[in-house]
Structure 1
């Protein structure tokens, strides 16, 4: 089991997303892999699609995935809670992480379609 890097939900497998933490840019120039659950991936993808690239309505904050300080966009998550089931929580993600999430989302959905087309029923 491993935990989603955004909501903390424990799942056997997560969707890999490449991030570029500024703190590790010399040690890991190719980026660092983070794992997201499908729910968080969907929420972040929805935010990415709704972001107007020229818009300045984002926040000056720290990115929840890579730790970059600067412009970040709020993403609403469904965080598991033992007493309430799920709780809505907002985290901030920078544009670079949102772009990486978009690439991971497209790849994940393409793999799901290919897998369902082959008829093996992996999911």
Structure 2
């Protein structure tokens, strides 16, 4: 079991997102991997898709994934709670981490489609023959 690095949900697997924490840039020049659950990955992807259009929502704060201070964007999370079920919360994520989230999101969705195709849930183009 591992925990999502944004919402804290414990899951058997998470989606790896490469981050570049400023404090670790010399020790890990290739970046550090953070794990996001599917819900947080989807939510961060929505934020990534809206940042070009919604420039006014830009804040200056610390990124929740890499710790870098600067321009960040709000990502809405659904944090599990024993008493309330799910609590909505916002965290700040920088542009660089959002770009990494986008790459992971695309890779994750492509793998899901390939898996579904292999299992026969999605069929290729069906040809109809007329007689």
The two structures have a TM-score, normalised by structure 2, of 0.89
The 5 Å alignment of 1:29-48 reads 29-48=29-48
The Cα of 1:36 is off from its aligned counterpart by: 0.3
Q: Distance in 1 between matches of 2:92 and 2:32?
A: 18
Specify every segment of 5 or more residues in structure 1 that has no aligned partner in the other structure, as ranges. Answer: none
Identify the residue that residue 14 of structure 2 maps to in structure 1: 14
Q: Distance in 1 between matches of 2:56 and 2:29?
A: 28
Identify the residue that residue 61 of structure 1 maps to in structure 2: 61
Distance 1:55 1:98, change over 3 A: same
Q: Is the counterpart of residue 2 in structure 1 residue 2 in structure 2?
A: yes
Q: Distance in 1 between matches of 2:115 and 2:49?
A: 25
Q: Distance in 2 between matches of 1:86 and 1:24?
A: 33
CA deviation profile, 1:7-56 (whole Å, cap 9, x unmatched):
00000000000000000000000000000000000000000001117925
Specify every segment of 5 or more residues in structure 2 that has no aligned partner in the other structure, as ranges. Answer: 122-131
- The root-mean-square deviation of aligned C-alpha atoms, in Å, is 1.5
4+ residue runs over 2 A deviation: 53-57
Aligned residues: 121
Between structure 1 and structure 2, the one with the greater Rg is 2
